[in-house]
């Protein structure tokens, strides 16, 4: 454990074995899980608030949960376990608020094929998750001759009617966030970072053409105020044009409302034995080794199974050709990590359609985590009672062996092993 939040911290530097206050490493672990879950809620709540949507209930929970982590408030293990599960419940609520705010503002996403190449002319590459920033930029750049490209988690923007209507929303460039340093250097236009995950550019590469907006900030990069993108558009027009370079198209936009439109087909295909199993392979991407597990797993999923995916981990396999089963794509991209609400709705709708509990569905969840929104989403899934979830590529360092055991005993939470071993186990379900 590590805690140095109060004056009595051990040796004036940090409690590492046991708190001077009496807090043990398991309480510290649960408090960290709670704090990280709250950070995830904060991200979703921030986006929703920017669109004018708030939740008094979630805000009140955040105050209560933060208060619980103050020195000498609670040393009770069960209270802390209840708080982290409540955090999952509140995350579901705020994801619902955000989903409604997105669909009310930008319409219901529709499945769409997205270009991954570039068009001749100046361009701006937009990364992050803030659809409102992208919308304002599209409005302000219309008719200027500048094409707008999405990077990484902005991909699902192409499926929202109020965004896709802009003809100069030209495509999706590059892969997941950890490729930025290479891909942003190669992209000759200007770059806009709207939220996480933005990286600090290596010296003398693209810092002079990197802009940040809203919550983001990078030393040396110009920061946009009040969503006035004039300087960014001007910069893009002054930079070398991108080449005409068509490339493979990728599908996205399977919001739960779009998947529910396929519900009859899906149910019929399952009943006819044409679809045997669903896999949700989703979550963050990252730079550490071990993440090729997810590519290998997706590649090894049998031909009579469907893969649901979301968030930027999918860049490891979303350009592969998975084909379809009776018109149902075998790879269904639900969207951003901000669309995790849709994934939950799909699971609940499937359990309704097959008249069984979520844990009785032929559905396996294999998640990749990187940062704190993933923690909030995992807590949501646990709050919903989902069992047998696999997480990786590495166990969170802030979960102690005792807390991990509680999660394993209660929720059958598993760490990933090898694609072959995990696949064989999952297909037994």
Task: Give the binding site for ligand SF4 (CB under 6 A).
Answer: 3-6, 8-9, 15, 19-21, 23, 71, 152-153, 177, 196-197, 284-285, 311-312, 337, 370-371, 373
Tokens representing residue 357 in the block: 């509990």
**Quick one: 74 or 351, whose CB is closer to ligand SF4?**
74
Burial letters 114-146, b for 16+ CB under 10 A, else e: bbbbbbebbbbbbbbbbbbbbbbbbebbeeeeb
**Quick one: 270 or 400, whose CB is closer to ligand SF4?**
400
**Quick one: 73 or 320, whose CB is closer to ligand SF4?**
73
Residue 427 Cβ, how far from ligand SF4 at the closest point, in Å?
27
Residue 288 Cβ, how far from ligand SF4 at the closest point, in Å?
12
**Quick one: 101 or 270, whose CB is closer to ligand SF4?**
101
Residue 181 Cβ, how far from ligand SF4 at the closest point, in Å?
15
Tokens representing residue 422 in the block: 């995990």
| Integer Cα distance of 158 and 254 in angstroms | 11
Residue 367 Cβ, how far from ligand SF4 at the closest point, in Å?
11
**Quick one: 19 or 122, whose CB is closer to ligand SF4?**
19
Residue 93 Cβ, how far from ligand SF4 at the closest point, in Å?
20
Position with the least CB separation from ligand SF4: 19
**Quick one: 152 or 159, whose CB is closer to ligand SF4?**
152
Residue 372 Cβ, how far from ligand SF4 at the closest point, in Å?
9
Non-local CB neighbours of 147 within 8 Å, separated by 6+ positions: 118, 119, 121, 122, 123, 124, 168, 170, 242
Q: What Cα–Cα distance (Å) separates residue 110 from each residue in 20, 36, 150, 166?
A: 55, 32, 17, 15
Alpha helices in 354-400 (DSSP H): 372-383
**Quick one: 4 or 67, whose CB is closer to ligand SF4?**
4
**Quick one: 9 or 159, whose CB is closer to ligand SF4?**
9
Residue 42 Cβ, how far from ligand SF4 at the closest point, in Å?
13
Give the E-state strand segments of 67-217 in sequence order: 112-114, 123-127, 147-150, 169-172, 190-193, 210-213
CA-closest candidate to residue 286, choices 184, 391, 371: 371
- Helices (H) and strands (E) counted in the chain, each on its own, are 14, 16
| Integer Cα distance of 192 and 128 in angstroms | 9
Residue 28 Cβ, how far from ligand SF4 at the closest point, in Å?
7
| Integer Cα distance of 154 and 61 in angstroms | 29
Find out whether 206 and 185 touch, Cβ atoms under 8 Å: yes
């Amino acid at each position: 454990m590590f805690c140095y939040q109060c004056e009595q911290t051990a040796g004036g530097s940090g409690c590492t074995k046991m708190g001077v206050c009496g807090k043990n490493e398991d309480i510290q672990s649960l408090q960290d899980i709670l704090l990280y879950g709250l950070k995830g809620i904060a991200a979703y709540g921030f986006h929703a608030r920017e669109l004018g949507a708030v939740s008094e209930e979630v805000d009140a929970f955040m105050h209560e949960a933060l208060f619980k982590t103050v020195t000498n408030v609670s040393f009770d293990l069960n209270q802390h376990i209840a708080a982290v599960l409540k955090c999952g419940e509140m995350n579901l609520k705020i994801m619902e608020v955000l989903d409604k705010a997105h669909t009310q503002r930008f319409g219901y996403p529709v499945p769409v094929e997205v270009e991954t190449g570039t068009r001749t002319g100046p361009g701006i590459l937009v990364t992050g998750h803030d659809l409102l920033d992208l919308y304002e930029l599209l409005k302000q750049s219309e008719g200027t001759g500048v094409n707008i490209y999405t990077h990484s988690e902005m991909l699902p923007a192409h499926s929202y009617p109020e965004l896709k209507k802009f003809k100069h929303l030209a495509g999706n460039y590059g892969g997941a966030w950890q490729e930025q340093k290479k891909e942003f250097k190669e992209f000759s236009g200007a770059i806009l970072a709207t939220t996480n995950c933005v990286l600090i550019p290596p010296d003398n590469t693209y810092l002079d053409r990197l802009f940040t907006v809203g919550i983001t900030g990078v030393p040396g990069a110009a920061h946009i105020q009040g969503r006035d993108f004039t300087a960014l558009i001007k910069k893009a027009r002054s930079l070398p044009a991108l080449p005409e370079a068509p490339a493979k198209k990728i599908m996205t936009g399977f919001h739960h409302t779009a998947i529910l439109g396929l519900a009859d087909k899906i149910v019929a295909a399952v009943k006819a034995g044409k679809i045997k199993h669903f896999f949700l392979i989703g979550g963050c991407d990252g730079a550490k080794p071990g993440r090729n597990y997810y590519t290998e797993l997706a590649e090894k999923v049998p031909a009579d199974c469907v893969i649901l995916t979301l968030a930027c981990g999918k860049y490891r396999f979303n350009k592969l050709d998975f084909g379809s089963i009776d018109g149902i794509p075998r790879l269904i991209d639900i969207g951003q990590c901000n669309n995790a609400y849709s994934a939950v709705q799909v699971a609940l709708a499937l359990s309704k359609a097959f008249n069984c509990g979520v844990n009785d569905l032929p559905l396996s969840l294999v998640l990749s985590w990187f940062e704190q929104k993933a923690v909030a989403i995992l807590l949501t899934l646990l709050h919903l009672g989902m069992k047998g979830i696999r997480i990786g590529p590495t166990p969170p360092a802030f979960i102690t062996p005792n807390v991990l055991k509680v999660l394993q005993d209660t929720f059958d939470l598993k760490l990933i092993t090898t694609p072959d071993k995990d696949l064989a186990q999952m297909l037994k379900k």
